[in-house]
Structure 1
Amino acid sequence: MKLRHILLVITLACFTVSLTAQTRRRSAPAPGTTAPKLEDLPKRPLDTIPTSDPETKIILFSNNTWSYYRPSLERLDSLPVYTQHWDTTGVFAYRDIAYNDLPPVVELKLVDDLTQFKSPVTGKVLSKYGPRRRRNHNGVDIPLRPGEPVYATFDGRVRYAKYNTGGYGNLVIVRHRNGLETWNAHLSKLNVKPNDYVKAGQVIGFSGNTGRSRGPHLHYEMRYQDQTFDPEFIVDFETGQLKYQTFALEKSFFNIHSRASEILEEEDEYDLPLLTSNDSGDSTSQDILDQIAEAQQKEKKAAVQQKQAGISSSGAIYHTIKSGDMLGKLAIRYGVTIDQICRLNGITRNTVLRLGKKLRIK
């Protein structure tokens, strides 16, 4: 009886070993091939996870991958900015538009509030925009440690995301709804693909040293219809702050010698009230509204004091438009409201302020 049990155990063991060997042979890759990658396995959606952004959800897949899902942004697919001159294979998308065809000034509405902006990185600009030796330096260089995250500056859609042999290395180009494009070069790794919609602050890649680069850094450009201009007109990279909510992009800024540090001569004391940070280092839309309300309250108080003192307010005050001026900034500077400036000049809040034009303030 014991011998019969022993023979049975041996037989089962041999059968198990044989079956296991056959299974391994069937599952092993054929000679000369490699095992399938995780991303190549069957991909079925398993679950959807909400995020803090109501427009964004995360889909988890059966092959242990995930992706963003933004159904509300699909309506943007038909916008001209995302259909015309939309090239996902080449870096330049506006070859048929010449410099002379561009308008004298383009009003770029950058954000409605600060949640729609994130500095791509924060750090000191090592190499600025402008001529550099025998070639033009069409952006700014910010040194970083390898692998640091690089963020989308504004909401937009990825037009280009791959390795570029022209010197940029791994390059991500994001086009924004106002037509502005931001270029992020020398990345070690890409975190997006063409036609992806991205939100400000989303990680689009990681800093590196790919392409024509002498050390890990981010080469960052801003372009409008392929024309470059100094990104420091708009972003303070050292503090990570946005300088303007609406920016008047002059045609002259597309000159490689047109640098923000040399053109923006106006003092900053009137440039930043709408974008200053609170004690915690963060600024919200409510903070901005509170600052506007405070400025308007000061105006009313000053008007009452003038009336009580018997001071006439009939003397008109004018302001000549300079680069970077916008109605909100002028209202705070002179202690008036935007509506008052519009009423005195017969304009609206959306009117483009022409350089050299005189506006009546009071």
Structure 2
Amino acid sequence: MNLKKNISKFYIVALFALTAIPSHGQDLLARQAPIDRKLKAVDTLALKSIIEREKVQSPAADLYNDWDNRYAHHRTEMPDSFKIDLRHFCMPTPSRVVTSNFGSRWGRPHKGLDIKVYIGDSIRAAFSGKVRIVRYEAAGYGKYIVIRHPNGLETIYGHLSEQLVSENQTVRAGEVIGLGGNTGRSTGSHLHFETRLCGVALNPALMFDFRNQDVTGDYFVYNSNTYDRESADATRIRGKIGNGGYTRDLVQDGEPGRYSGHIKENSAEILYHKVKAGETIQSISKKRGVSIDKICQLNHLSSKSHVRPGQILRYS
């Protein structure tokens, strides 16, 4: 009789134990869930931190196979279409004057925009990124800087008088990286500004509107099928002759314009003169009604300096 009772008790205890296992397992899973979520959050933060560090070490690594300080521009495989983020930008200079367009010039390709600046003017990084090259090229860029940005672009700043950053340095948009100058193959102080994607030069006027000191939108989508037409339109609208750069109001080259007479020495209007063949500082001074000293001071010249046809001089 006792054996039967003991067997019955064992059976009942075993039955309760078996029915309790699923609920106990569920309790364990329930208690484990918050821990799993915390670990997942930690893993996510760690992963984000790793990704951010990699972006700093090698911006736009998905486009470029390596980080090389030897070449100013080395062409790699170019995507047929690519979306470039233009937000969080800074204009490299407050100058609104485009002196030379992107495209063919003097029988050879001109891979960027020339912007009128003066020796010593601050030049700033257009976007945050990492400095890839700081170098001097006597027959070309002069003192120049190349920065690679996370949005895929590389920007080049040429003819500088001073370089204020070093290779592999991380910079923020708007940080002063150099000073305007006239070094290298240059006929007057200006900034040569390039925008390249995978080593291929794109017309900066597609993205930067110097006249209005702004970018053309939050994004620019490069498309190999429409690029040529869009580039031509950008030059027409925002280049040297379009709404950006020189107009007759800004540059007097002998043609009729708003400022056909002499100007006051203390005029606040910023005006420019495009040098013609045979002209000198003395003849320009007489033509514009401005003293030689004033012209020399505004353009960092001496009274004995020679000016070249096509050179741009500020006279007010």
| TM-score relative to the length of structure 1 | 0.47
Separation (CA, whole Å) in 2 of partners of 1:187 and 1:252: 35
Tell me if the contact between 2:159 and 2:181 (Cα under 8 Å) persists in the aligned partners: yes
Shift in Å at residue 178 of structure 1?
Answer: 1.8
Counterpart residue identity of residue 116, structure 2: P
Separation (CA, whole Å) in 2 of partners of 1:218 and 1:168: 10
Counterpart residue identity of residue 133, structure 1: W
The answer to whether residue 153 in structure 2 is matched with residue 180 in structure 1 is yes
Q: 1:87 aligns with which of 49, 53, 68?
A: 68
Alpha-carbon spacing, 1:130–1:211, altered in 2? closer, same or farther (3 Å): same
Q: 1:120 aligns with which of 54, 79, 92?
A: 92
Secondary structure at 1:92 match in 2: coil
Separation (CA, whole Å) in 2 of partners of 1:238 and 1:264: 10
The answer to whether residue 48 in structure 2 is matched with residue 76 in structure 1 is no
In the TM superposition, what whole-angstrom CA distance separates every residue of 1:242-292 from its partner, at most 9, and x where no partner exists? 111111112256659933436879xxxxxxxxxxxxxxxxxxxxxxxxxxx
Tell me if the contact between 2:59 and 2:152 (Cα under 8 Å) persists in the aligned partners: no
Secondary structure at 1:208 match in 2: coil
The answer to whether residue 113 in structure 2 is matched with residue 149 in structure 1 is no
Match of 1:280 in 2: none
Alpha-carbon spacing, 1:208–1:156, altered in 2? closer, same or farther (3 Å): same
The answer to whether residue 231 in structure 2 is matched with residue 258 in structure 1 is yes
Tell me if the contact between 2:102 and 2:235 (Cα under 8 Å) persists in the aligned partners: no
The answer to whether residue 165 in structure 2 is matched with residue 192 in structure 1 is yes
Separation (CA, whole Å) in 1 of partners of 2:67 and 2:224: 23
Counterpart residue identity of residue 131, structure 2: V
Separation (CA, whole Å) in 2 of partners of 1:253 and 1:193: 37
Alpha-carbon spacing, 1:138–1:262, altered in 2? closer, same or farther (3 Å): closer
> Where do 4+ consecutive residues of structure 1 move more than 6 Å?
none
Separation (CA, whole Å) in 1 of partners of 2:228 and 2:200: 9
Shift in Å at residue 93 of structure 1?
Answer: 3.1
Counterpart residue identity of residue 241, structure 1: D
Match of 1:211 in 2: 184
Shift in Å at residue 219 of structure 1?
Answer: 0.5
In the TM superposition, what whole-angstrom CA distance separates every residue of 1:30-86 from its partner, at most 9, and x where no partner exists? xxxxxxxxxxxxxxxxxxxxxxxxxxxxxxxxxxxxxxxxxx975534546357331
Tell me if the contact between 1:81 and 1:179 (Cα under 8 Å) persists in the aligned partners: yes
Match of 1:284 in 2: none
In the TM superposition, what whole-angstrom CA distance separates every residue of 1:290-344 from its partner, at most 9, and x where no partner exists? xxxxxxxxxxxxxxxxxxxxxxxxxxxxxxxxxxxxxxxxxxxxxxxxxxxxxxx
Separation (CA, whole Å) in 1 of partners of 2:143 and 2:179: 10
Secondary structure at 1:126 match in 2: strand
Alpha-carbon spacing, 1:161–1:127, altered in 2? closer, same or farther (3 Å): same
Alpha-carbon spacing, 1:80–1:202, altered in 2? closer, same or farther (3 Å): closer
Secondary structure at 2:173 match in 1: coil
Secondary structure at 1:76 match in 2: helix
Unaligned runs of 5+ in 1: 1-71, 266-362
Separation (CA, whole Å) in 1 of partners of 2:180 and 2:188: 10
Counterpart residue identity of residue 187, structure 2: R
Match of 1:102 in 2: 78
Q: How many residues align?
A: 185
Separation (CA, whole Å) in 1 of partners of 2:122 and 2:67: 26
* Percent pairwise identity: 33
Tell me if the contact between 1:232 and 1:260 (Cα under 8 Å) persists in the aligned partners: no
Separation (CA, whole Å) in 2 of partners of 1:171 and 1:120: 14
**Superposition pairs for residues 19-30 of structure 1, below 5 Å?**
none
Separation (CA, whole Å) in 1 of partners of 2:188 and 2:99: 12
Tell me if the contact between 1:86 and 1:93 (Cα under 8 Å) persists in the aligned partners: no
In the TM superposition, what whole-angstrom CA distance separates every residue of 1:151-173 from its partner, at most 9, and x where no partner exists? 00011111111112440001101
Match of 1:20 in 2: none
Tell me if the contact between 2:163 and 2:179 (Cα under 8 Å) persists in the aligned partners: yes
| TM-score relative to the length of structure 2 | 0.53
Counterpart residue identity of residue 165, structure 2: V
Separation (CA, whole Å) in 2 of partners of 1:167 and 1:256: 28
Shift in Å at residue 221 of structure 1?
Answer: 0.6
Q: 1:225 aligns with which of 159, 177, 198?
A: 198
CA-atom RMSD, angstroms? 2.6
Tell me if the contact between 1:230 and 1:253 (Cα under 8 Å) persists in the aligned partners: no
Separation (CA, whole Å) in 2 of partners of 1:217 and 1:262: 19
Match of 2:300 in 1: none
Unaligned runs of 5+ in 2: 1-50, 239-316
Separation (CA, whole Å) in 2 of partners of 1:175 and 1:185: 15
**Superposition pairs for residues 228-307 of structure 1, below 5 Å?**
228-252=201-225, 258-261=231-234
Higher Rg of the two aligned structures:
2
Secondary structure at 1:150 match in 2: strand
Higher RCO (CA-CA < 8 Å; seq separation 6+):
2
In the TM superposition, what whole-angstrom CA distance separates every residue of 1:190-220 from its partner, at most 9, and x where no partner exists? 0101111111100010000000000000010
Separation (CA, whole Å) in 2 of partners of 1:160 and 1:143: 23
Q: 1:131 aligns with which of 100, 104, 119?
A: 104
